[in-house]
Amino acid sequence: MSSKFIPRGADKYDSFMGRWSRRLAPLFIDFAGLAAGDRVLDVGCGTGSLTFALAKHANVASVEAIDYEQQFVDAARERNTDPRINIQRGDACQLEFYDGQFDRALSMLVLHFVTDPERAVFEMRRVVRPGGVVAATVWDNFGGQPATRMFWDTVAAIDPSAINWRSSSLMRATTRPGELAGIFKKVGLIDVMETTLCIQMGFANFDDYWIPVAGQGRHAGYLETLPEALRLRMMDAVKAAYLCGKADGPRSFVNLAWAARGTVPAA
């Protein structure tokens, strides 16, 4: 498997997305369910937002966490002080665990970056025992991320080359209505439910918004293709959209994620 995420270091990831995934994690756990004594797998743990929340949310027996990016694995390991948690590099599409090893397998903000999300969900189902739960959540990139749309719609109005970047960023697999639930049903999970989870993204000022955006993910990948003069023009245009005719300062954006869960049927 290859990842469609463009990493620029664990610290930049935390400032770009980690602070929001930490807000999303408790809502996702409440939706997915968690019980004392559970053996849990976190697929695509990043720097540990869900991993550490799982260990705090209930007296779980163990949390196995994997991520494709070694730099994220290293950062999460450095932060870990819980002996119940084990973090290692792994491939979501080829999990190195035996059948039925876990009570729950969860994946937060990962499947829209996986090259074969159906295979990843199938693998999650395989490693969960009959009666156990598989759950995943992904951002609603197209309609549920106005802070992201502000960036892409602004730059695409100026630079025709940004249109394809915008399309590939906002129309990702698994992020449209019903897609997650459809994959869950296709791999044989039962009692499948899909919902939306909502958090607020709050920025102290434009720099708080722009610096992480310009330093991580596809936003940074696109900006790096531009000559300096055009890159500065883009920053000024996005800043004007952020300010919206008012002084620089705090701005708040709603942010939606799709979430689905299903049960592994009895053998």
Instruction: Report the CATH number at residue 238.
Output: 3.40.50.150
Domain presence at residue 242:
yes
Q: In angstroms, rounded to a whole number, what is the distance separating the alpha carbons of residues 191 and 130? A: 13
Q: Residue 228 corresponds to which amino acid?
A: E
Domain presence at residue 117:
yes
Its domain, for residue 252, covers 10-263
Domain presence at residue 4:
no
Domain presence at residue 1:
no
Domain presence at residue 153:
yes
Q: Which pLDDT tens digits describe the chain residue by residue (267 residues)?
A: 444 444 544 455 555 666 888 999 999 999 999 999 999 999 999 989 999 999 999 999 999 999 998 989 999 999 999 999 999 999 999 999 999 999 999 999 999 999 999 999 999 999 999 999 999 999 999 999 999 999 999 999 999 999 999 999 999 999 999 999 999 999 999 999 999 999 999 999 999 999 888 877 889 999 999 999 999 999 999 999 999 999 999 999 999 999 999 999 997
Half-sphere CA count of 139, side-chain side, radius 13 A: 24
Tokens 């090893």 -> residue: 101
Domain presence at residue 85:
yes
Tokens 């790096």 -> residue: 224
SS3 state of residue 68: coil
Domain presence at residue 24:
yes
The residue among 1, 259, 4 whose CA lies nearest residue 107 is 259
The residue among 189, 105, 180, 182 whose CA lies nearest residue 140 is 180
- The number of folded domains in the chain is 1
Tokens 């869950």 -> residue: 184
Domain presence at residue 55:
yes
